[in-house]
Each structure stands twice: as C-alpha cells, then as structure tokens.
Copies of this chain bind each other. A is one copy, B any other.
Amino acid sequence: MKKIEGGVCAAKGFSAAAAAAGIKYQGRDDMAMIWSNEPCEIAGTFTTNVVKAAPVIWDRDIVESGRKVRAAVVNSGIANACTGAEGREICDATAEAAACVLQCEKEDVLLGSTGVIGMQIPLERIVAGVEALAPKLDRSPEAGLAAERAIMTTDTVPKQAAVTFEAAGHAGETVTVTVGGMTKGSGMIHPNMCTMLAYVTTDCAISKEMLTKATKAAIDDSFNMVSVDGDTSTNDTFLVFANGLAGNACIDREGEAFEAFCGALNTVCMSLARQMAADGEGATALMEVRVRNAADVKSAKILAKSVVGSLLTKAAVYGHDANWGRILCALGYAGVDFDPENVDLYLASGAECAHIFSHGSACDYSEEKATAILSQPEVIITADMHQGSAEATAWGCDLTHEYVNINADYRS
C-alpha cells in the first residue's frame, strides 16, 4: 500500500466540481459534485440521531435499495435538517435537477448538506448551483480539492487522503487499485458519528456486500473514534463509491484481496478522521488517546472515548497543564470496571514521553517536561489498564476560547 496525493478524484473514472451557489455563504464555493463515469456500488453509514436531515433520509433509502449510483451533490451553509416536508421536496428537486444535467436517474444521485439546522435551502439557488457544477466536472486533483473546500463550514483546512495498492487483474496480471476521499467536520462531532460528511471513491471492483462489510469495519476504528464536542449531528454521512474501473478481479468474498482493500480503506478513513480531530473547532492541539491492555476491545473503545470527550481533560491540554487526575477521573466514569491502582498513565508527543501515574499515585515526573509535551500540536495520552490485551485509539482536540467564540455566534 502506498500513500499518494489527492482525494475523491484520485481513483479512475471519478471527477469533481465546485461552485458558488450563494446558498448561505457569499463569496466562496458552497456546492460540490462528484461523478463517476461508470455506475458504482455504494456503501454508507449515517447519523444515529433520531432527528435526521432530509438528505440523510434520501441517501439512506438509496443505499438500502441496493441500486448502483453515479453522483453526489453536496452543499454547505444550510443543513436541511428540521425542515419538514419542504426540506424533503428540496432534496427531490435537487436530485431531479442533477439527473437532468447529468443524464441519469434521480436515484443515481446522493445528496449531502451541512450547516445551520432549521433554515430552508433556497430552491432556485441549489438548482442553479447544480447546473453550474455539471459542466465544470474535472478529473484533476485541483477539482477534487475545490470540491473539498466547497463543503467546508468551520473547518480551517481541507482534509483529503488517498492510497493505492496492488491487486490481481482478471487475467492474473497486477493492477493498481486506488482509494481516495475527502471529509469535512469540525464541530458537532462525536462518536456515532461526527458532524461530518465524508466521501470516499475507489476504482476497486467489489461486491456491494463486501463493500458494506469493509465500510463498517473502517468506520468503527476511525470516524466513530473521534469526538470534538459530544454533539452527534443530524447530518452525518459517510459514503464509499466503488466503480470497478481498476480492472481487478471483483472482490466478492473474504480473503487476501478483501484484506488488502480493507487495509486501504482503513488507512484513508483513519487519516481523514485524524485530520478532522486536529481541525476540531478552535483546536490548538490534536489529542490522541490510546488505551492499552484493556479487558476487551469494547471496553478499550469506551475508555478511550471517555477521556477524549472529557471537557476538563480537553481544557487541561489547552492550558498545557498535566492535570492527569482528570484523565483518571474520565476513565473512572466511563462505565467500565477497573482497579485504579493498576493503571499506568503516560503523556507523549513525538519522541518525548512522561510516565505520570502508577500504582495508585503520581510518579516522580518532571512538570516541566510534562508541560513541554502538552505544548506540542499533537499530544498522546496512553492509559495501560493491565487487564487484558485489547486496545483502542480515539482522537479529539483541546477545548479553547476559540471553540466558545465559534459556537456562541455560529448563526450570525
């Protein structure tokens, strides 16, 4: 497997475009389109929030139908959530407009929205946006990057990732398969899932069943392990498009080829999830929480997520304050049983590591060193539970004044 540059246009047969539709933002691109030259198998995961945005319901119905798809149309600025019947009609009209300009069925078009909840999307603007997007579809990396930028809200940096791996072709020859993707998400981000939209494209030939299986596994270890603020959004959408143009022998069962694809998809998702955590609203530091030697994987995940979601731990990281009691406290209220006297805690960044807690009380560590570690842009908190051999990693960010600035005044 090889990491490469690029995002949704990295895989064969995919193109993308961005346009300024003025849906809510002015003076910037706020709509994106992804298109595949060939029909795609599609797998997806959506928000677990009872309140689901209209485009989430639209996409879920299509993904569950089993049909192949061709395109995605995404807007930023307005989430089209809590918008009732009118919101659903806007979805239908948007897909209809896309089907018309792309010459496909409206059910070939997936939709995504992100932004303010409760406002209606102006119909004429989103339709005009769709019409502006189609002629601009382009396979260049620049087009992929422009699409990513168009779906950003409070994100400060675009987030893309892509990898290639070798697979066997139909005649036994070696072919290159590419998996690439983009994501947006910065606030309202919490496991299961994030306020995030993520689109991954691949030219891998793979059955819907195996694509769904790989997607489920990838998301559990990546996007579902990210927390910025504990708020699970109404719009979370993660979609993987597979158009088969790589020419590999179609993956329709478990085995080496499936494992290789899972590895590639995992790598892309982990990279996107990590980038998203690092760009959490107002963040000055990425927090990576590693739980080691837990009794089982489920417990490890719960413990890691509890620490990464603890406001007091997040504020302490922002303050470069090695207030490790808050870490132990967050482990303690996670809902997993353990003996605090058996836990070891470490703080690390780069090559620096400090052992801060052991045998039920503080180690004799240097506060100066701990502060230096916590002043780095990536802070790794490790908890060794000494209960078993399971492990998990979760990602988040510090809690800052800027987070409050952004969210006290988001709609204005």
A146 to B316, CA, bound (A): 31
Secondary structure dominating the interface of A: loop
Known: A118-B362, A340-B50, A361-B118. A231 touches B329 (CB 8 A): yes
Q: For A333, list chain B residues within 8 Å (CB).
A: 48-50, 190, 231-232
- Of A2-10, A75-83, A93-101, the one contacting chain B is A75-83
Assess whether B401 is in contact with A404, with CB atoms less than 8 Å apart: yes
* A272 interfacial by beta-carbon distance below 8 Å: no
Assess whether B325 is in contact with A360, with CB atoms less than 8 Å apart: no
Assess whether B407 is in contact with A311, with CB atoms less than 8 Å apart: yes
* A377 interfacial by beta-carbon distance below 8 Å: no
Q: For A334, list chain B residues within 8 Å (CB).
A: 50
Out of B82, B187, B311, name the residue touching A325 (CB < 8 Å): B82
* Chain A positions 329-378 with a Cβ under 8 Å from a chain B Cβ: 329-334, 336-338, 340-341, 357, 359-362
Residue of chain B at shortest CB distance from A83: B361
**A82, A324, A340 interface centre (most CB from chain B within 10 Å):** A82
Assess whether B84 is in contact with A312, with CB atoms less than 8 Å apart: no
A260 to B327, CA, bound (A): 42
Out of B187, B311, B411, name the residue touching A231 (CB < 8 Å): B311
Out of B188, B312, B324, name the residue touching A407 (CB < 8 Å): B312
A122 to chain B: closest CB distance in Å?
A: 15
Known: A84-B359, A324-B118, A325-B117. A230 touches B231 (CB 8 A): no
* A171 interfacial by beta-carbon distance below 8 Å: no
Q: For A117, list chain B residues within 8 Å (CB).
A: 323-326, 328-329
A404 to B49, CA, bound (A): 28
Counting every copy of the chain, the complex holds: 2
* A400 interfacial by beta-carbon distance below 8 Å: yes
Assess whether A309 is in contact with B408, with CB atoms less than 8 Å apart: no
Q: For A79, list chain B residues within 8 Å (CB).
A: 325
Assess whether A51 is in contact with B316, with CB atoms less than 8 Å apart: no
Assess whether B361 is in contact with A311, with CB atoms less than 8 Å apart: no
A290 to chain B: closest CB distance in Å?
A: 19
Q: For A325, list chain B residues within 8 Å (CB).
A: 79, 81-82, 116-118, 234
Assess whether B336 is in contact with A50, with CB atoms less than 8 Å apart: yes
Range, interface on chain A: 35 or more
Residue of chain B at shortest CB distance from A190: B333
* Chain A positions 280-333 with a Cβ under 8 Å from a chain B Cβ: 309-312, 315-316, 318-319, 321, 323-326, 328-333
* A36 interfacial by beta-carbon distance below 8 Å: no
Known: A117-B329, A404-B401. A321 touches B411 (CB 8 A): yes
Residue of chain B at shortest CB distance from A318: B408
Closest 4 CB pairs of A and B: A117-B325, A319-B408, A51-B332, A84-B360
Beyond A81-B329, A117-B323, A319-B412: 18 further Cβ-contacts under 8 Å? A49-B333, A50-B336, A79-B325, A81-B325, A117-B329, A118-B323, A118-B325, A118-B328, A118-B357, A119-B362, A188-B312, A230-B230, A231-B333, A234-B328, A318-B408, A321-B410, A399-B404, A401-B405
